Amino acid sequence: MSLTPLLRKIFLVDLIKGLKVTFHYQGPNEAITEQYPLERPVIYERFRGQPRLNSNPDTGESLCIVCNLCALACPEQLIVVKGERNPTTKRKEVVSWTYDVSRCMFCGLCAEACSTDALDLTQDYEMALYSREGMVLDQAALERGQEPVRYAK
């Protein structure tokens, strides 16, 4: 054994280096844990979460034109859109719109296929439920979006 590694061993140089690293991690601002319900994490813009159907902010009517592109784009085929032509306005209007979140893998293909920016995957992430029934969202639920959960007594 050459001299340097032996000296390193005797004077525990590597151990002291390790101790130094862990000592510096104790700084008050080092912890990356978030106190979740009290302090909400930063969600990035490209995160895909809870789906939402947008409506025209001026008139309040749905932006969906029942083109069925999202249903065709969906690899899981979990979007079912049914529409009917309105004889007066000559436009297709939504009869039923269901989105089964329980099967969704949040690939975002539906939102990309949407020609009117009606369907979006939002940054909401608190999607846990006590039963599977609530996971099939209808038009009203999709338009309402997710209500933020409040933790209080």
Partner 1 sequence: MLDAITGYLRTSTTPGEAGSMFWATIYILFITIGVSLAVIAMNWLERKILAHMQIRLGPMRVGPHGLLQPFADALKLLIKEDIIPEDADKLVFWSAPVVVTMTAFTTFLVVPFGRTHAVTDMNIGILFMLGVSSLGVLGIIMAGWSSNSHYPLMGSLRSSAQMVSYEVAMGLAIVSAVLMTSLGTGPGTLSMIGIVEAQNAQQTWFIFNFFPLGLIAFGVFAIAMVAETNRAPFDLPEAESELVAGFHTEYSGFRWSLFFLAEYAAMLAVSSIAVTLWLGGWMRPFPNWLSGSTWNMAFSFVPALAFFVLAGLCFLGTIRMPKIPQMKIQTVGLGVFGALLGFIGLVLLVPSVSERIQDIFWFVAKVACFMYLYIWYRGTFPRYRFDQLMRVGWKVLLPVGLGVLIATAIWGLMPQLSAAALGMVQ
Residue 143 · residue 55 · CB < 8 Å:
yes
Q: Which two tokens stand for residue 15?
A: 């151990």
Q: How far is the CB of 128 from partner 1 (least distance, A)?
A: 20
Question: Is 149 among the residues that bind partner 1 (CB under 8 A)?
Answer: no
Q: Check residue 146 and report its DSSP letter.
A: P
Question: Is 35 among the residues that bind partner 1 (CB under 8 A)?
Answer: yes
Subset of 38-97 contacting partner 1 (CB under 8 A): 38-39
Separation of alpha carbons 65 and 69, rounded Å = 10
Q: How far is the CB of 98 from partner 1 (least distance, A)?
A: 38
Beta partners for 36?
none
Applying CB under 8 A, which of residues 1, 2, 4, 25 lies at the interface with partner 1? 25
Question: Is 22 among the residues that bind partner 1 (CB under 8 A)?
Answer: yes
Q: Check residue 55 and report its DSSP letter.
A: B
Q: Which two tokens stand for residue 54?
A: 């947008």
Please state the length of the chain.
153
Between 25 and 44, name the residue whose CB sits nearer to partner 1: 25
Residues in the site for partner 1, rule: CB under 8 A? 15, 18-19, 21-23, 25-26, 30-33, 35, 38-39, 151-152
